[in-house]
Structure 1
Amino acid sequence: MKKIRFGILSTAKIARTKVIPAMQKGKHTEVTAIASRSLENAQKVAEELGIAKAYGSYEKLLADKQIDAVYIPLPNHFHVEWTLKAMDKGKHVLCEKPMGLTSGEVNRLINATVTAPDAKVMEGFMYQFHPQWIEAKRLVDEGLIGDLVTIQSFFSYFNADPNNIRNKADLGGGALMDIGCYPVSLSRFIFNAQPRRAMSFMNQDPEFGTDRVFSGMLDFNGRISTFTCSTQMADYQRVNILGTTGRIEILIPFNAPPDEPCTIMLQQGTQKEITVQPLSFDPCDQYTLQGDAFAKAILDDTRLPTTLMDAFDNMHVIDALIKSAQTGQWERS
């Protein structure tokens, strides 16, 4: 079976501990090279993970004609720059979220497809490939919870390390960019629409200047999605999707463990006839599923599961949320 040969730009933790091991298990993916700004570091990680080639610069990896695609787990402010460089070298790109720091940045990638029409570029929202989310969307789309009314999301962890890139405002750090982009994405995914306006509240860290707590409200023409995310709260994540006659609760919506079953709760009925049913899913690695879906689109030359236009739309909402936090008003999204 033919596989897409991936090169990894960076030895970032998410690549080492999650994405590379997951892709090494894929039906359609193989990791053949990794690059770091330090050749020694790249060689060390390559040896640890059984990767054939190691490069001491990202440029040298992109020049390797035996690499079909790259995965980019670089810091947020490098995503657009290195995606453009990879496209210029004829590589397909799977890039960590967020695709850029603004919708204008993502628009640069869309414009670049004019000169690189064969390059497939996808933002890495891996949660969408997990069976629990596919089933949740099916339940909503088929009316199993009645008419969809609202979505409530929460995602938080605690990280007060001043040296951590997530706490550097000028490098795209903060709660909204790091984890708030997930509630924005899932809201659009489940509502199957773009919100018409956004309102938000932001609490900034006085030392880092990053948003340590960010709450948002998205208006889908009278149907609402609300969320809170934080980089300085207890570890927690949960999503509730509520309709007129039912509810779906996703217990581990984002960091679904690859080696344990996942469960979502389906509540149906009203008043005295309410039933709550757990729906369980066998262990699976959502990063493996993401990589295979991306690779399959390359192999079959078909439409990507999520396109650059989807990445642009997601960033457009984030732009509106950031503006609302500054103005204290609803902003069009």
Structure 2
Amino acid sequence: MSSTQAASVLRLGILGGANIARQFTRDVRPSQTVRVVAVASRSDDNAKTFAEANGIERWFGSYDALLASPDIDAVYIPLPNSLHAEWAIKAAEHGKHILCEKPLALNRDEALRMFDAADRHGVMLLEAFPYYFQPQTAAMMTLIGEGAIGSVRAIQASFGFTVGNPGANIRMKPELGGGALLDAGSYPLSLIRLVMGSAPQRVDAVATWADSNVDISLMATLIYADGRRAQVSCSMDAANHRFATIIGTQGTIDTEYLNHTSDQTTGHPYGYLPSQLRVRRGIPNSVPFETIASESGSGFFFAAESFARMIATHDSAAIEFYAQVSLDNAATLAAIIESARSEKPVTL
């Protein structure tokens, strides 16, 4: 275990200088419990440039050098999907807690090896879906837990956008774990798993394939052992959209489940917007929807603070909960892409 136990602030290092790392560093800066203290890149010059541009005091010319530093308690991994398992396992072997960008792994076997390494070395591993830790998501789960819409019977969830610079974008490269499902689809799928509480029994998917052989868009039906169903839709060739409808026996919930939220409809410095959450407590369509208000802010901030709190309080129950969610997500993502490629249903 690292020296986090004795420290009041979690000292965090970042592996890589992608754009998402810049956003993460900026949004976490106001935290009183997490401090980004170092960044590593594949060259000293790149690391120094990133550190100086983003107000980070230390930099390392390799990921291994950062992991070897005794003054870093945990790492944030925003690397390409294909590198998550390798560097999460190495971080665990160096005694660092790990906050890893989604999707955690390319398949369930990778995810199992990552969690096994974390367990063996006494560190915590958490998949970093920012919206997970939004107060709005907690409000949504409270509504469901309290029976506001009765028993959940179905969910329809989507997320998509138009990929920029497709010729060079890592999202278009199969060797880096690209594709609409892993990049965009992991979000609605993760929401479905949170709400349903388990992995599906069977999936049936159809995809459109880009010239690089990644899925540019995909839809799938998920069928559960108890007869519940869900539908997931994702794309990298459409206007930005992010929405979910949760259908219960006694009502419905609509949500945008945004990563980052604001109370402002215009003028937010980072472009963050309000995120809708509304509930209809009743069966007929004459029952009006009720808008649910929640604290707003950056999902990176909320996720980092939640991660630090889990470490500081040794909240193994929370980590185990999210670990099972991540394992189910990894298995379901793999089954969906297998179904899309084979054009046949796949049983988990």
Aligned mates of 2:205, 2:278 — CA distance in 1: 29
1:312 aligns with 2:327: yes
Q: Which residue of 1 aligns with 2:84?
A: 79
Give the structure-1-normalised TM-score.
0.94
Query: How far did 1:203 drift?
Result: 0.8
> 188, 193, 198: which is aligned to 1:183?
188
Q: Which residue of 2 aligns with 1:135?
A: 139
Q: Which residue of 2 aligns with 1:210?
A: 214
> 8, 13, 19: which is aligned to 1:13?
19
Within-5 A mapping of 1:148-187: 148-159=152-163, 161-187=166-192
**1:105-154 Cα shifts (integer Å, max 9, x gaps):** 112123324531x1111111121111111111111121111221111111
Q: Which residue of 2 aligns with 1:298?
A: 311
Give yes or no for contact 2:194–2:325 (8 Å, CA) kept in 1.
no
Moved more, 8-17 or 271-280: 271-280
RMSD across aligned C-alpha pairs, in angstroms? 1.7
Query: How far did 1:216 drift?
Result: 1.1
Q: Which residue of 2 aligns with 1:328?
A: 343
Q: How many residues align?
A: 329
Aligned residue for 2:120, secondary structure, equals: coil
Aligned mates of 2:139, 2:324 — CA distance in 1: 24
Within-5 A mapping of 1:1-333: 2-17=8-23, 19-113=24-118, 115-116=120-121, 118-159=122-163, 161-205=166-210, 207-220=211-224, 221-250=226-255, 252-258=256-262, 260=264, 261-271=274-284, 273-303=286-316, 304-305=318-319, 306-333=321-348
**1:196-227 Cα shifts (integer Å, max 9, x gaps):** 1111111101x221100111111122111101
Query: How far did 1:280 drift?
Result: 2.1
Aligned mates of 1:269, 1:114 — CA distance in 2: 45
Give yes or no for contact 1:8–1:34 (8 Å, CA) kept in 2.
yes
Give yes or no for contact 2:118–2:125 (8 Å, CA) kept in 1.
no
Aligned mates of 1:44, 1:21 — CA distance in 2: 15
Query: How far did 1:5 drift?
Result: 0.2
Give yes or no for contact 2:139–2:294 (8 Å, CA) kept in 1.
no
**1:148-187 Cα shifts (integer Å, max 9, x gaps):** 1111111110115210000101210000010111122111
Aligned mates of 1:148, 1:308 — CA distance in 2: 23
Aligned mates of 2:90, 2:103 — CA distance in 1: 17
Identity in percent = 34
Aligned mates of 1:11, 1:170 — CA distance in 2: 20
Aligned mates of 2:285, 2:307 — CA distance in 1: 46
Aligned mates of 1:276, 1:309 — CA distance in 2: 33
Give the structure-2-normalised TM-score.
0.90
Residue 285 of structure 1 aligns with an amino acid whose one-letter code is S
Aligned residue for 2:259, secondary structure, equals: coil
Give yes or no for contact 1:262–1:282 (8 Å, CA) kept in 2.
no
